[in-house]
């Protein structure tokens, strides 16, 4: 007994203060219920339901046959970093060299390493709420202080640069921007992103631009704020969403050379490098443009149909949700179901639909629905919503 008490007492304060990912936890619970035979529609995971494209899988097979199974440099294989520099130039209008790019174990590690590299205790990081659940936890783990600036449903969850400006202090070290956004699906207009980049220039802080959903836009257009403030911006992305490669764990980033080197130094003392075979597969995804563009276009159109089906069904039931312009999420107002979003998620789970309560997203009074699932599942979920109401 005493031994276990000592083990708990020996954990660091920063680990004890860190909350586990709510989305991962809810998805795990849904999977467990399914394993028990519960008839459940899971609208929880932020994960494409499509398989990885065949040309990408074939590149992984070739890498295996060619013996490309050794350690890679901490910042990634040179061939992939060269392809990333070209991708950022071609698709994002960013002029970066291979040395200004890094490959990481998913986009999450790019963000984690970045905060470890730039934050000192007490440094403030502005996060736009609702936000992806991991941003504030990563900031706190690095010793920083997350500062929330809320966005509002009536504004389409698009931030007001003036409100962001009022949150800036002498301790502000970074601003995190995520467009298209998880969990709201908002796509920030170019003029808003330009204004936020101008704030980074004026007040000399980092702009962290998480662009993991850039290829999943249904209305509006994607704009990378690094075009405005290249020396102040770190652009984060990855293979997971565009190429249905979540389990391959390949993220990447571009930014000032000194920051990228520091991020690679963090990798060198933690993961060494991302999976080598997965890097060669990602190289294929980024360079076989004809096949990759065809895959992305087909997936995007499927998501668009699903979004429209879900929104029309919710509207027919009298439920309120802001129309998402990108990603594959809808934030649903839970007031018709329960007094708060946690109880609403519990009632929906009892009705056979798993959703993520908005609490850890700072999306209070909402649950997040993922439409990265079949149209059949969405119709079944809507019918269960109707019965519950």
Question: Residue 9: pLDDT above 70?
Answer: no
pLDDT at site 7:
58
Which of 299, 195, 214 lies closest to 254, judged by CA? 214
How would you label 296-313 residue by residue, b for 16+ Cβ within 10 Å and e otherwise?
beebbebbbebbeebbeb
pLDDT, average across residues 260-274: 97
pLDDT at site 22:
61
172: Cβ contacts below 8 Å, ≥ 6 apart: 123, 124, 125, 126, 147, 203, 205
Q: In what order do the strands lie in the sheet with 172-178?
A: 101-104, 251-254, 233-238, 206-210, 172-178, 124-129, 145-150
What's the predicted TM-score (pTM) here?
0.94
pLDDT single digits (tens) 305-347: 999 999 999 999 999 999 999 999 999 999 999 989 989 998 9
Q: Concatenated DSSP letters for 83-135? A: HHHHHHHHHH-----GGGEEEESHHHHHHHHHHHHH--TT-EEEEEES--THH
Residue 77: band (very low, low, confident or very high) from pLDDT cuts 50, 70, 90: very high
pLDDT at site 2:
54
Q: Concatenated DSSP letters for 202-250? A: HHT-EEEEE-TTTT-BSSS----GGGT-TTTEEEEEESTTTTT-GGG--
Question: Residue 25: pLDDT above 90?
Answer: no
Cα torsion 91, 158, 242, 107 to 10°: value is 90
What domains appear along the chain, each with residue ranges and CATH number? 13-51+292-388 (3.90.1150.10), 70-288 (3.40.640.10)
Beta strand 145-150 with 124-129 is: parallel
Residue 5: band (very low, low, confident or very high) from pLDDT cuts 50, 70, 90: low
Do residues 298 and 315 lie in contact, with contact meaning Cβ atoms separated by under 8 Å?
Answer: no
Question: Residue 206: pLDDT above 70?
Answer: yes
Question: Residue 227: pLDDT above 90?
Answer: yes
**Residue 29 CA to its chain's centroid (Å):** 21
Residue 8: band (very low, low, confident or very high) from pLDDT cuts 50, 70, 90: low
Q: What is the mean pLDDT of the chain?
A: 94
Question: Residue 301: pLDDT above 60?
Answer: yes
pLDDT at site 112:
98
pLDDT single digits (tens) 269-292: 999 999 999 999 999 999 999 999
Residue 27: band (very low, low, confident or very high) from pLDDT cuts 50, 70, 90: low
pLDDT single digits (tens) 33-64: 778 887 899 998 889 999 999 999 999 999 99
H or E element: which one contains 192?
helix 190-203
Q: Concatenated DSSP letters for 51-76? A: PPPHHHHHHHHHHHHTT--S---TT-
pLDDT single digits (tens) 124-163: 999 999 999 999 999 999 999 999 999 999 999 999 999 9
């Amino acid at each position: 007994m005493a031994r276990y008490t000592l083990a708990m007492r020996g954990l660091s304060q920063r680990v004890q203060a860190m909350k586990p990912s709510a989305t991962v936890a809810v998805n795990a619970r849904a999977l467990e219920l399914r394993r028990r035979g519960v008839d459940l529609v899971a609208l929880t995971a932020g994960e494409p339901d499509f398989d990885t494209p065949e040309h990408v899988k074939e590149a992984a097979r070739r890498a295996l046959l060619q013996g490309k199974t050794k350690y890679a440099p901490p910042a990634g294989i040179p061939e992939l970093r060269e392809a990333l520099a070209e991708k950022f130039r071609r698709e994002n209008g960013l002029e970066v060299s291979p040395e200004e790019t890094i490959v990481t174990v998913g986009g999450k590690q790019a963000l984690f390493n970045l905060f470890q590299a730039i934050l000192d205790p007490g440094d403030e990081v502005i996060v736009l709420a609702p936000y992806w659940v991991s941003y504030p936890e990563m900031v706190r783990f690095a010793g920083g202080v997350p500062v929330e600036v809320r966005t509002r449903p009536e504004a389409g969850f698009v931030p007001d640069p003036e409100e962001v400006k009022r949150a800036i202090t002498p301790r502000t070290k970074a601003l995190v921007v995520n467009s298209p956004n998880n969990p709201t699906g908002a796509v920030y207009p170019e003029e808003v992103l330009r204004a936020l980049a101008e704030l980074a220039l004026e007040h000399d802080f980092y702009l962290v631009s998480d662009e993991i959903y850039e290829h999943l836009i249904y209305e509006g257009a994607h704009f990378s704020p690094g075009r405005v403030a290249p020396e102040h911006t770190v652009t984060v992305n990855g293979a997971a969403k565009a190429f249905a490669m979540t389990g391959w764990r390949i993220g990447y980033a571009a930014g000032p050379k000194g920051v990228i080197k520091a991020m690679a130094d963090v990798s060198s003392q933690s993961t060494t490098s991302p999976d080598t075979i997965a890097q060669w597969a990602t190289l294929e995804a980024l360079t076989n443009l004809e096949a990759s563009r065809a895959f992305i276009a087909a997936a995007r159109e499927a998501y668009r149909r699903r979004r429209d089906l879900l929104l029309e069904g919710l509207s027919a039931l009298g439920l309120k949700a802001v129309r998402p312009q990108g990603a594959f999420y809808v934030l649903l107002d839970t007031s018709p179901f329960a007094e708060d979003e946690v109880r609403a998620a519990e009632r929906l789970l009892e009705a056979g639909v798993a959703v993520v309560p908005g609490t850890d997203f700072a999306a209070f009074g909402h649950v997040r629905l993922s439409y990265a699932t079949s149209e059949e599942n969405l119709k079944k979920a809507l019918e269960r919503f109707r019965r519950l109401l």
